């Protein structure tokens, strides 16, 4: 994994061809090689961005299948909590952020809505922040009434896509609260109204 990444960075330094880069990106994503690439650089940068945000962000590296009848192993960053999202995305790989009690229900409720966003958008999403226990929310400068404390807020971005474009797209489809954070690399969504992704504009919107 890290060898591939190193190879990719070396190739960029040596002005590799697009096809060489595309091959590497496809390997990183667990896809078969393809003779002609589309926007390989963009994909590679998307991958590197995703690595910065969350090392659990690349869907193809996750265990396949999600069984909602099985208990979630909150100590395993790669364990799935829904079709597309993992423990590591909720906790940002920080065991202090493992949800407990009622917060778990809120986390899972949001995950189902984010699964819908992921399917409708059609490409992988990354998460820069999800559950924040009060002490951590305070430490990172989150607002006192942050919905992240409840477990039903997440800051998300499109992997290998344009965050502004994603923000505009989601704005008209997220029927709940949404914060315009694209300038800071994410879109905040939360479920304070219990609505989620219903294909319509929600009533609460703000800028960061
Ligand atoms: Zn947020």
What pLDDT, on a 0 to 100 scale, did the predictor assign at position 79? 93
Q: How far is CA 187 from the centre of its chain?
A: 10
Confidence of residue 141 (pLDDT cuts 50, 70, 90): confident
What does the alpha-carbon distance between residue 180 and residue 188 come to, in Å, rounded to a whole number? 7
How remote is the CA of residue 24 from the centroid of ligand 1, in Å? 33
Element (H or E) spanning 9, and its range? helix 2-13
Sequential DSSP letters for 109-177 = HHHHHHHHHHHHH-S-EEEEE----HHHHHHTT--TT-GGGGT-EEEEEETTS-HHHHHHHHHTTB-SE
Sequence-distant (≥ 6) Cβ neighbours of residue 156 within 8 angstroms: 114, 117, 125, 126, 127, 128, 186, 187, 189
Mark whether 76 and 167 lie in a shared domain.
Answer: yes
Tell me, in angstroms, the distance from the centre of ligand 1 to residue 187's CA: 7
- Same-domain pairing of 28 and 88: no
pLDDT tens digits along 72-81: 999 999 999 9
User: Is 47 a residue whose pLDDT tops 50?
Assistant: yes
Ligand 1 mean position, distance from CA 11 (Å): 36
* Pair 119, 23 in one domain: no
Domain co-membership, 90 together with 180: yes
**Cβ pair 109, 191 in contact under 8 A:** yes
More reliable by pLDDT, 138 or 37? 138
How much distance in Å is there from the Cα of 62 to the middle of ligand 1? 24
Sign of the alpha-carbon torsion through 97, 107, 160, 29: positive
- What's the mean pLDDT in 154-165? 95
Residue 54 has pLDDT above 80, yes or no: no
Question: Do 93 and 152 have their domain in common?
Answer: yes
Q: 108 and 34, same structural domain?
A: no
| Residue 208 pLDDT class (50, 70, 90 cuts) | confident
The answer to whether residues 208 and 184 touch, using CB atoms and an 8 Å cutoff, is yes
Residue 67, pLDDT score: 84
pLDDT of residue 2: 60
Contact criterion met (CB below 8 Å) for 207 and 180: yes
Q: What is the CATH number of the domain that holds 147?
A: 3.30.1380.10
- Structural domain for 178, as ranges: 60-207
Distance 42 CA to ligand 1 centre (A): 25
- Expressed in angstroms and rounded, the spacing between residue 153 Cα and the centre of ligand 1 is 6
Same domain, 41 and 6: yes
Measured in Å, residue 172 CA sits from the centre of ligand 1 at 18
pLDDT at 7: 66
Report every protein residue that has its C-beta within 5 angstroms of ion ligand 1.
Answer: 155, 188
If asked whether residues 73 and 41 sit together in one domain, one would say: no
Residue 56's pLDDT band (boundaries 50, 70, 90)?
Answer: very low
Q: What is the pLDDT of residue 1?
A: 45
Query: What is the mean predicted confidence (pLDDT) over 38-54?
Result: 60
Ligand 1 centroid, distance to 43 Cα (angstroms): 25
């Amino acid at each position: 994994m890290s060898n591939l990444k190193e190879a990719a960075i070396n190739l960029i330094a040596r002005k590799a061809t697009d096809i060489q880069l595309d091959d590497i990106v496809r390997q990183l994503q667990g896809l078969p090689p393809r003779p002609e690439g589309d926007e390989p650089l963009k994909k590679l940068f998307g991958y590197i961005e995703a690595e910065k945000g969350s090392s659990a962000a690349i869907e193809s590296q996750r265990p396949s299948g999600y069984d909602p009848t099985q208990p979630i192993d909150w100590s395993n960053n790669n364990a799935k909590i829904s079709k597309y999202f993992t423990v590591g995305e909720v906790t940002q790989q920080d065991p202090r952020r493992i949800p407990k009690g009622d917060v778990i229900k809120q986390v899972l409720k949001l995950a189902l809505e984010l699964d819908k966003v992921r399917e409708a958008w059609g490409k992988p999403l990354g998460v820069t922040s999800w559950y924040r226990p009060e002490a951590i929310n305070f430490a990172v400068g989150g607002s006192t009434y942050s919905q992240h404390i409840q477990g039903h807020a997440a800051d998300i971005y499109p992997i290998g896509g344009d965050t502004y474009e994603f923000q505009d797209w989601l704005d008209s489809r997220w029927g709940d609260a949404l914060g315009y954070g694209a300038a800071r690399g994410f879109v905040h969504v939360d479920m304070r109204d219990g609505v989620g992704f219903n294909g319509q504009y929600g009533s609460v919107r703000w800028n960061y």
